[in-house]
């Protein structure tokens, strides 16, 4: 259902324990609708994060199209030359590493004081670890290609990318979801949202 601002009306479910020990009852508790400007403020970080993630999605698709041999000038990104691929793939790994370092140094520690999803050993940081395990293997492979230790073989690169493809794409969506207005409003006031330095 949509409210007058065009955004979905929000409800939360609360579990009510029963005295006789039978399964808990569920009661729907209405939370106030956000105005358009409140939604904008609460959703600011999600939108900001998504803009970075869109960059990663585009770059990944470009690399993957080349690695899988599916690049074309039509519906898929154009294939990159081997030297351009090596450079673009290395830049992708460096930029993603920097992005995760910034998140884990400046953003997650603050959010995790109230939001479990951003705590250590939970979903988002665990996804970072899985992503980095895959990135490390790809990074070593690319370095050996650059140094002439091995030849660049796209089928091998595709295999190396496939090993962390699902977790990367799932992470790019999940993180934005966790920063969305309906999640943020549960933990922060509008004033606190405005005071965030990221
Ligand atoms: Fe991110
Ligand atoms: Fe992340």
State pLDDT tens for residues 128-157.
Answer: 999 999 999 999 999 999 999 999 999 999
pTM of the predicted structure, to 2 decimals: 0.83
Look at 47-61, 74-88, 91-105, 151-165 and tell me which has the smallest mean pLDDT: 74-88
pLDDT over threshold 50, residue 3: no
103 CA from centroid of ligand 2 (Å): 6
Look at 13-27, 68-82, 91-105, 159-173 and tell me which has the smallest mean pLDDT: 13-27
131 CA from centroid of ligand 2 (Å): 9
pLDDT, position 72: 67
Phi-psi region at 148: left, alpha or beta (left = phi > 0; alpha = psi -120 to 50): left
Per-residue DSSP letter, 24: P
198 CA from centroid of ligand 2 (Å): 14
131 CA from centroid of ligand 1 (Å): 12
State pLDDT tens for residues 31-60.
Answer: 889 999 999 999 999 999 999 999 999 999
State pLDDT tens for residues 10-26.
Answer: 444 444 444 444 445 55
Phi-psi region at 121: left, alpha or beta (left = phi > 0; alpha = psi -120 to 50): left
73 CA from centroid of ligand 2 (Å): 31
- What is the rounded CA–CA span in Å between residue 122 and residue 148? 39
Please identify every residue whose CB atom is under 5 Å from ligand 1, which is an ion: 175
């Amino acid at each position: 259902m949509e409210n007058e601002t065009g955004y979905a009306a929000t409800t939360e479910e609360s579990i009510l324990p029963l005295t006789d020990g039978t399964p808990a009852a569920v009661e729907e508790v209405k939370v106030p609708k956000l105005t358009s400007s409140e939604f904008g403020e609460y959703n600011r970080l999600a939108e900001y994060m998504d803009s970075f993630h869109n960059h990663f999605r585009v770059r990944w698709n470009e690399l993957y199209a080349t690695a899988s041999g599916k690049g074309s000038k039509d519906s898929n990104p154009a294939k990159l030359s081997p030297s351009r691929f090596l450079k673009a793939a290395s830049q992708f790994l460096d930029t993603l590493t920097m992005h995760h370092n910034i998140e884990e140094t400046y953003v997650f520690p603050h959010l995790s004081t109230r939001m479990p999803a951003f705590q250590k050993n939970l979903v988002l940081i665990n996804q970072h670890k899985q992503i980095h395990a895959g990135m490390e293997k790809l990074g070593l492979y690319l370095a050996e290609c650059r140094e002439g230790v091995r030849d660049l073989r796209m089928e091998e690169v595709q295999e190396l990318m496939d090993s962390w493809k699902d977790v990367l794409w799932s992470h790019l969506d999940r993180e934005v979801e966790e920063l969305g207005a309906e999640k943020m409003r549960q933990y922060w006031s509008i004033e606190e949202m405005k005071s965030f330095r990221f």
